[in-house]
C-alpha cells in the first residue's frame, strides 16, 4: 500500500512509537485498530479486517470519520475522552448500527480504548481492541424470550388468555418480530385458521383476514396454505408490494410464515406470520430462533387446548349427570303411579281376614318387594330434589342419642341372627342438636345396613358422643373393609366397590351417596376409615345448635313421638341377606405416586434433587444418559429430569434417544443447564426437551415445573380413566337396577297369578279385580325397566349382520307394536321395502320403536294413519315411518335423538324419552344415519338409512337369507 498518499506519509517518516504499536497489534489474535494523528487515520490487523467487511482494504489508511460515518457520533465521545484525559475506557455489549452488507445492521460490540503516545510522550492516538458480541447479545435476548414463553403455561387457563400473554411477550421482542400475527386452527373445522392475536396491526386490518381456509389456497395469502401443507417455513419477498406498507419501524421487506405444530407433531395447530427485522440477516441462527418459538407456541397452545377440552368434557359429563338425574326423577315418577296401585290393593288384601295363611304369606312377600321398590324410587327422587335445591328438610331439636338408639334397636334381631355382637352406646347428649328426623333415619339405616352386609364375624357398634363443636355418630364394623384405592370414590353416586366379600351383590350404589348428601344438608361431614380384612368405621360429624342451618327450614317443635318410619323396609331387606353369603374375592392394590427419573453425574446434585422431589414423587436416580435409557426401558417413569453435560451419553443425546422411541416419544423431559443463555439450552429445546432450567434454580421453581409437566402429561390418561369409570359405573348400575327392579316385579306378578289361579274359589269379585290391577301395574313397570335396559345394552352389544327380508321384519314389528300399544289402533300402510343388511334383533327393535312412536303420537287423531316406505339411494337403503300425529317443532331436532329427552308433556304422552335414542344408537352401530322431518300438528316422518345389502362385501359377515319369500 502506498502510505505516502495518506495523512501519515511514507512509513520511513513514521514515529518509532507508531511502528512499535503497529508491530504489536499485528501479532494480536483479537481485532485491534490504531487511530493516529489529528485525522485519526486507521491502521488495523487481520482480526479487525473481518469487522470491516467489504470496507477492507479500501479504508485502510483512511480517517475514522470517513470510514465509519454511521458510527462516528457514537464512538467519537469515547475517543475524545481518551485523547483529552489519557484515560482507559471499557464499553461492554453496546449497540453500534453499522452498514456493512447493504443494510443498517443491529450489531453489538465490546470496546477497550487506550491512549497511545508519540516519541515525545504526547498522546497522539488511540488503540481500540474490539470484540463483536452481536451473536451473544441476540442469543441472550432470544433465550430470555423462550424462557418467558415457557413460563406462561401456569399463567393461563384458556387459548384466548394464552394468546394475550404470548402477544405481550413477543411484543417486547420487536427487534426480532417487527410485527406478527398468530392464526390458530379452528377446533371445529380442521381446514380453517382463525386469527388469534397480533402486534403491530390494527384489529380491523383487512389485509390479514380473520379466517383463512388453507385447503382452498386462499388467494390473499397463498403462502399460508403452502406453509401448512408443506409444514415448513415459507418466505414472502414481495408482501409489501402486494398489500401496502408493513408495520414495524422501517418497513420489513421480508415476511415469514411458520407452521405451529401440535404437541404430537401430527397436525398443524396454527401459523405464525412475522415480519423479519430489516436490521438482521435471516441466517441459520435467526431461523433456529423462529423454529424454537413456534415449537414453544405449539406446546403452549396445545396445553391450553387440552385444558379447554378437559373442561368441556367435564362440563359435558356434569350435564350428562344432570340429565341422568332428571331422567331417573322422570322414571321414578312413572314408577310411583303403579306402585300406588300395587301397595293400595296389597295392604287392603293383607287386612282381609277371610284369606288363608298361605295367600297372606304370598301377599306379605309381594308387599315387602313393593316397599323395597318404593325405597329405591324415593332415594332417586331424593337425589333429584337435592340436586335441584328443592329438598323439604325440617330441622327440629332432637334427643339424638335416644332417637339413634331407637333406630339401631330395630337391627338387634338381624345382627343376633347373623351371629354378630351388636353394641349400641348412645347416651343423652348435653348439647342441642337439630336434625331432620326422616333424613337422620335414612343416614342411620343405610350405615347399619351397610355394616351388616359386609360383616361376617366379630362386632358392629353404634355410638353417639359429644365433641367440641357438636355431636359425632360412629358406626364401626369388623367386616371386609374397603381398598384404599376405592375410598376417594366411595360416596359417588352409582359407584360400587367391586370384588369385596358381602352378603349380597345386590345394590345400586346410591346408599352411601345418599348418606353423604343428607349429611351435607345438615351442615355436617362424613368420614370413613378402613383397612381391608379388618373393618370400616364411618363417622358423621354434626354441629350444635341451628345457626348453620337455613332458618326457613328450622322448626321450633316437633312430634316427639314420631315413629321409625322406613326402618322396617331396611330391616326386611337386610334379613333377606342372612341365609346367603357372597364368595370372597381378592382385592386390588392402589396405584403409587408419579415416578420421576433423575439423571445427573454429580452425586451431590442427585442427592439434593432426590431429597427435594421424594416427598412428593417416587424418585429414581441414575448417573448418566445410558443408565437412564436402561432404567426407562425397565420401568417407564412419568417424567425425566436430566442434566445436559454428562459422560457416556449426555442430556441432549438422551432426549434424542427418547424421542426416537415410540414408547417414550411423549415422555416429559426437563433439562438442567449450567450454561444459562448459551447454545446448549437452545439445542436442548431443538432436540425435543419439553423445558429447561438454568442453574442455579429455586426449589419452588423446580417443583412447579415438574408439577406442571406431570399434570399436562397425565391429563389425557386421567380423562380416559374417568370416562372408563363412568361407563363402567353406568353399566354396573343398569345391571344392578335390572336385578333389583325386575326380580320383585316377577315375584309380584307370579304371586298374584298364583292367588288368582290356586285360590279362585276363595276370592270374591272385588279381590279378583284388585289382583288384576296388581298384575297390570307390575307388567307396566316391567316395560319401563325393559326400555331402560334396551338403551344400556345397545352400547356394548355385538352386531351380527344378515341379509333380511325387510317386509317380513316390518310385519312382525307391527304386530308387536300394536299388541303393546294401549292408545288404540291405526291404519298402517306398507310400501315396497328393499332388503336390509343388519342384525335382525337390533333392526327389529328399531322398527318396533319407530312404529310404537308413530302409534303413540297419532292415537288422538280421528283417523290415525301410518305409512311405511323404503327405497335405495347412493349405496344406501333408506326407510321411512310417517304418521299424521301431533308432530313437533323442528327447532328441537338437535335434541330429538338424545337420551332422556321428551318434546311433549308426560301427562299427554307417557314414555321415558329413550326410544328414539335407542334407534339412533342401533343405526349408528350399523354405520347408518337417522333423521326426521315434522311440523307442529302436521305429523312426523322418521328416516333411517343402512348400507345397502348388495354393496356389502361378501364374506365379511354371514349372508344367510332371513324370511325370503
Q: Give the start-end residues of each E strand in 601-678.
A: 618-622, 639-643, 669-673
> Rounded distance, CA 161 to CA 140, Å?
27
For residue 959, the model assigns a pLDDT of 32
Point out the least confidently predicted range of 33-42, 86-95, 681-690: 681-690
The DSSP string of 527-558 is EEEEETTTEEEEEEEEESBSTTS-GGGB-S--
Please give the Cα distance from 280 to 277 (Å, whole number).
5
Eight-class DSSP state of 270: E
734-758: string of b/e by CB count within 10 Å (b at 16+)? bebbbebbeebbebbbebbeebbee
Look at residue 503 and tell me whether its pLDDT is greater than 50.
Answer: yes
Average pLDDT on 800-810 reads 90
| Radius of gyration (C-alpha) of the chain in whole angstroms | 41
| Phi and psi angles of residue 102, each rounded to the nearest 5 degrees, phi first | 90, 0
Question: Could you report the per-residue pLDDT of 134-154, keeping only the tens digit for each?
Answer: 999 999 999 999 999 988 888
Spatial contact of 945 and 870, defined as CB atoms under 8 Å apart? no
Contact criterion met (CB below 8 Å) for 281 and 101: yes
pLDDT, tens digit (0-9, with 9 covering 90-100), for 386-434:
766 667 788 999 999 999 998 888 888 888 888 899 999 999 998 999 9
> What is the mean pLDDT of the segment spanning 451-465?
92
Q: Which residue intervals of 204-283 are DSSP H helices?
A: 222-230, 239-243
Query: How many whole angstroms separate alpha carbon 418 and alpha carbon 43?
Result: 109
- Which pLDDT score, from 0 to 100, does residue 266 have? 80
Residue 84's contacts (CB-CB under 8 Å, 6 or more residues apart) are none
Higher pLDDT, 731 or 382: 382
- Asked whether the bond before 57 is cis by omega within 30 degrees of 0, the reply is yes
What are the E-state strand segments in 638-753?
639-643, 669-673, 691-694
What separation in angstroms does the CA of 827 have from each of 849, 867, 878, 883?
Answer: 17, 8, 22, 10
* pLDDT value, residue 543: 94
> Which of 491-495, 563-567, 669-673, 824-828 ranks highest by mean pLDDT?
669-673
380 vs 288: which has the higher pLDDT: 288
Residue 59 scores a pLDDT above 90: no
The pLDDT tens digits for 761-792 are: 777 878 778 877 787 677 666 666 665 666 56
At 566-616, the pLDDT tens digits run 566 676 666 666 643 322 222 222 334 789 999 987 777 888 888 889 898
Contact call for residues 767 and 349 (beta carbons, < 8 A): yes
- In this prediction, residue 379 has a pLDDT band, given cuts at 50, 70 and 90, of confident
d(CA 41, CA 63): 4
712-727 per-position pLDDT tens digit:
887 756 765 676 566 5
**φ, ψ of residue 206 in degrees (nearest 5):** -75, -10
d(CA 885, CA 222): 54
Q: Judge contact between 335 and 377, C-beta under 8 A.
A: yes
User: What is the rounded average pLDDT for all residues in the chain?
Assistant: 81
Residue with cell 349427570: 321
pLDDT band at 540 (very low <50, low <70, confident <90, very high): very high
pLDDT at 859: 78
Give the mean model confidence (pLDDT) for residues 434-458: 90
Q: What angle do CA 140, 145, 147 make, to 5 degrees?
A: 90
**Listed range (316-320, 523-527, 927-931) with the worst mean pLDDT:** 316-320
Which is more confident, 192 or 887?
887
pLDDT of residue 560: 40
Range with the largest mean pLDDT of 66-75, 308-317, 535-544? 535-544
Identify the weakest region by mean pLDDT among 510-514, 537-541, 554-558, 662-666.
Answer: 554-558
pLDDT of amino acid 579:
46
Strand partners, 5: none
CB-count burial class (<10 Å; 0-12, 13-18, 19+) for 271: buried
Q: Cα–Cα distance between 109 and 95 in angstroms, integer?
A: 7
Q: What is the mean pLDDT of residues 167-184?
A: 89
pLDDT recorded at residue 880? 94
Task: Say what the pLDDT of residue 736 is.
Answer: 60
Q: What residues contact residue 953 under an 8 Å CB cut-off, 6+ apart?
A: none
Distances (CA, A) of 768 to 195, 343, 350, 366, 827: 75, 15, 14, 16, 35
Pick the most confident of 68-72, 358-362, 930-934: 930-934
Q: What is the DSSP letter of 151?
A: G
Cα–Cα distance for residue pair 72/654, rounded to 1 Å: 50
What band does 960 get if pLDDT is binned at 50, 70 and 90?
Answer: very low
Q: At what angle do helices 357-387 and 284-350 cross, to 10 degrees?
A: 150
Are the beta carbons of 25 and 32 closer than 8 angstroms?
Answer: yes
In this predicted structure, the answer to whether residue 964 has a pLDDT above a threshold of 70 is: no
**Is residue 277 scored above 70 in pLDDT?**
yes
Distance separating alpha carbons of residues 293 and 176, to the nearest angstrom: 11
What are the chain's domains?
3-132 (3.30.450.20), 139-307 (3.30.450.40), 392-575 (3.30.565.10), 595-697 (3.40.50.2300), 797-962 (3.30.565.10)
Residue 218 pLDDT grade (very low, low, confident, very high; cuts 50, 70, 90): low
Question: Under a CB-based contact definition with an 8 Å cutoff, are residues 185 and 192 in contact?
Answer: yes
- How far from 351 is each of 346, 355, 373, 765, CA to CA, in Å? 9, 9, 21, 16
Percent over 90 (pLDDT), the chain: 24
What is the pLDDT, as a whole number, of residue 961? 30
Amino acid at each position: 500500500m502506498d502510505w505516502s498518499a495518506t495523512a501519515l506519509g511514507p512509513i520511513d517518516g513514521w514515529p518509532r512509537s507508531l511502528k512499535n504499536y503497529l508491530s504489536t497489534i499485528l501479532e494480536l489474535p483479537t481485532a485491534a485498530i490504531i487511530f493516529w494523528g489529528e485525522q485519526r487515520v486507521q491502521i488495523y490487523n487481520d482480526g479487525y479486517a473481518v469487522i470491516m467487511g467489504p470496507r477492507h482494504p479500501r479504508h485502510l489508511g483512511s480517517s475514522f470519520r470517513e470510514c465509519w460515518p454511521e458510527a462516528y457520533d457514537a464512538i467519537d465521545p469515547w475517543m475524545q475522552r481518551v485523547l483529552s484525559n489519557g484515560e482507559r475506557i471499557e464499553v461492554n455489549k453496546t449497540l453500534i448500527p453499522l452498514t456493512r452488507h447493504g443494510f443498517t445492521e443491529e450489531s453489538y460490540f465490546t470496546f477497550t480504548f487506550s491512549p497511545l503516545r508519540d516519541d515525545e510522550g504526547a498522546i497522539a492516538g488511540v488503540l481500540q481492541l474490539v470484540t463483536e458480541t452481536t451473536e451473544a447479545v441476540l442469543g441472550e435476548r432470544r433465550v430470555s424470550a423462550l424462557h418467558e414463553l415457557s413460563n406462561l403455561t401456569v399463567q393461563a387457563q384458556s387459548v384466548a388468555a394464552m394468546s394475550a400473554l404470548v402477544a405481550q411477550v413477543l411484543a417486547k421482542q420487536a427487534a426480532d418480530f417487527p410485527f406478527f400475527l398468530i392464526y390458530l386452527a379452528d377446533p371445529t373445522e380442521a381446514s380453517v385458521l382463525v386469527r388469534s392475536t397480533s402486534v403491530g396491526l390494527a384489529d380491523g386490518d383487512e389485509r390479514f383476514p380473520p379466517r383463512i381456509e388453507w385447503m382452498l389456497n386462499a388467494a390473499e395469502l397463498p403462502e399460508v396454505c403452502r406453509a401448512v401443507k408443506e409444514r415448513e417455513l415459507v418466505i414472502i419477498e414481495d408482501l409489501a408490494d402486494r398489500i401496502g406498507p408493513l408495520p414495524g419501524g422501517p418497513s420489513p421487506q421480508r415476511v415469514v410464515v411458520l407452521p405451529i405444530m401440535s404437541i404430537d407433531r401430527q397436525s398443524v395447530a396454527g401459523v405464525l406470520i412475522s415480519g423479519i427485522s430489516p436490521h438482521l440477516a435471516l441466517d441459520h441462527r435467526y431461523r433456529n430462533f423462529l423454529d424454537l418459538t413456534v415449537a414453544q407456541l405449539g406446546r403452549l397452545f396445545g396445553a391450553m387446548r387440552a385444558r379447554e377440552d378437559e373442561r368441556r368434557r367435564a362440563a359435558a359429563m356434569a350435564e350428562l349427570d344432570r340429565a341422568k338425574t332428571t331422567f331417573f326423577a322422570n322414571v321414578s315418577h312413572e314408577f310411583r303411579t303403579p306402585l300406588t296401585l300395587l301397595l293400595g290393593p296389597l295392604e287392603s288384601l293383607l287386612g282381609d281376614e277371610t284369606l288363608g295363611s298361605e295367600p297372606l304369606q304370598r301377599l306379605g312377600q309381594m308387599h315387602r318387594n313393593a316397599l323395597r321398590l318404593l325405597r329405591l324410587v324415593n332415594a332417586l327422587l331424593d337425589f333429584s330434589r337435592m340436586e335441584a335445591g328443592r329438598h323439604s328438610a325440617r330441622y327440629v331439636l332432637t334427643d339424638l342419642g335416644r332417637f339413634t338408639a331407637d333406630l339401631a334397636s330395630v337391627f338387634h334381631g338381624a345382627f343376633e341372627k347373623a351371629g354378630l355382637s351388636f353394641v349400641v352406646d348412645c347416651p343423652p347428649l348435653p348439647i342441642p342438636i337439630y336434625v331432620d328426623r326422616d333424613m337422620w333415619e335414612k343416614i342411620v339405616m343405610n350405615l347399619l345396613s351397610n355394616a351388616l352386609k359386609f360383616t361376617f364375624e366379630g362386632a358392629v357398634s353404634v355410638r353417639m358422643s359429644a365433641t367440641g363443636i357438636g355431636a359425632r355418630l360412629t358406626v364401626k364394623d369388623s367386616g371386609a373393609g374397603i381398598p384404599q384405592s376405592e375410598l376417594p370414590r366411595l360416596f359417588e353416586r352409582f359407584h360400587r366397590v367391586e370384588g369385596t366379600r358381602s352378603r349380597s351383590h345386590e345394590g345400586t350404589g346410591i346408599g352411601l351417596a345418599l348418606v353423604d348428601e343428607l349429611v351435607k344438608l345438615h351442615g355436617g361431614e362424613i368420614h370413613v376409615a378402613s383397612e381391608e380384612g379388618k373393618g370400616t368405621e364411618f363417622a358423621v360429624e354434626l354441629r350444635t345448635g341451628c345457626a348453620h342451618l337455613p332458618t326457613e327450614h328450622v322448626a321450633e317443635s316437633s312430634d316427639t313421638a314420631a315413629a321409625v318410619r322406613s326402618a322396617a323396609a331396611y330391616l326386611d331387606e337386610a334379613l333377606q341377606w342372612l341365609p346367603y353369603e357372597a364368595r370372597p374375592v381378592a382385592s386390588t392394590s392402589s396405584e403409587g405416586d408419579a415416578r420421576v427419573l433423575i439423571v445427573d453425574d454429580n452425586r451431590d446434585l442427585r442427592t439434593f434433587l432426590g431429597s427435594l422431589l421424594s416427598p412428593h414423587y417416587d424418585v429414581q436416580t441414575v448417573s448418566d444418559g445410558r443408565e437412564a435409557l436402561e432404567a426407562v426401558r425397565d420401568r417407564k417413569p412419568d417424567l425425566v429430569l436430566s442434566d445436559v453435560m454428562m459422560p457416556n451419553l449426555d442430556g441432549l443425546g438422551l432426549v434424542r434417544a427418547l424421542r426416537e422411541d415410540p414408547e417414550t416419544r411423549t415422555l416429559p423431559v426437563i433439562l438442567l443447564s449450567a450454561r444459562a443463555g448459551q447454545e446448549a439450552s437452545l439445542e436442548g429445546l431443538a432436540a425435543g426437551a419439553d423445558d429447561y432450567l438454568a442453574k442455579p434454580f429455586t426449589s419452588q421453581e423446580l417443583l412447579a415445573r415438574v408439577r406442571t409437566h406431570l399434570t399436562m402429561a397425565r391429563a389425557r390418561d386421567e380423562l380416559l380413566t374417568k370416562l372408563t369409570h363412568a361407563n363402567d359405573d353406568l353399566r354396573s348400575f343398569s345391571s344392578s337396577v335390572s336385578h333389583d327392579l325386575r326380580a320383585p316385579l316377577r315375584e309380584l306378578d307370579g304371586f298374584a297369578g298364583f292367588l288368582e289361579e290356586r285360590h279362585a274359589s276363595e276370592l270374591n269379585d272385588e279381590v279378583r279385580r284388585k289382583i288384576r290391577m296388581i298384575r297390570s301395574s307390575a307388567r307396566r313397570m316391567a316395560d319401563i325397566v325393559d326400555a331402560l335396559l334396551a338403551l344400556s345394552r345397545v352400547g356394548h352389544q355385538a352386531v351380527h349382520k344378515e341379509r333380511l327380508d325387510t317386509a317380513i321384519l316390518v310385519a312382525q314389528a307391527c304386530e308387536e307394536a300394536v299388541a303393546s300399544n294401549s292408545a288404540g289402533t291405526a291404519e298402517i300402510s306398507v310400501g315396497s321395502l328393499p332388503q336390509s343388511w343388519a342384525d335382525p334383533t337390533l333392526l327389529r327393535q328399531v322398527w318396533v320403536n319407530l312404529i310404537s312412536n308413530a302409534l303413540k303420537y297419532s292415537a288422538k287423531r280421528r283417523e290415525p294413519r301410518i305409512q311405511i316406505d323404503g327405497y335405495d339411494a347412493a349405496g344406501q337403503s333408506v326407510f321411512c315411518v310417517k304418521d299424521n300425529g301431533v308432530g313437533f317443532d323442528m327447532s328441537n331436532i338437535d335434541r330429538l335423538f338424545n337420551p332422556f329427552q321428551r318434546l311433549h308433556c308426560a301427562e299427554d304422552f307417557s314414555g321415558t324419552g329413550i326410544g328414539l335414542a335407542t334407534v339412533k344408537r342401533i343405526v349408528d352401530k350399523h354405520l347408518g344415519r337417522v333423521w326426521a322431518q315434522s311440523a307442529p300438528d302436521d305429523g312426523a316422518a322418521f328416516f333411517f338409512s343402512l348400507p345397502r345389502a348388495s354393496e356389502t362385501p361378501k364374506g365379511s359377515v354371514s349372508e344367510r337369507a332371513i324370511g325370503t319369500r
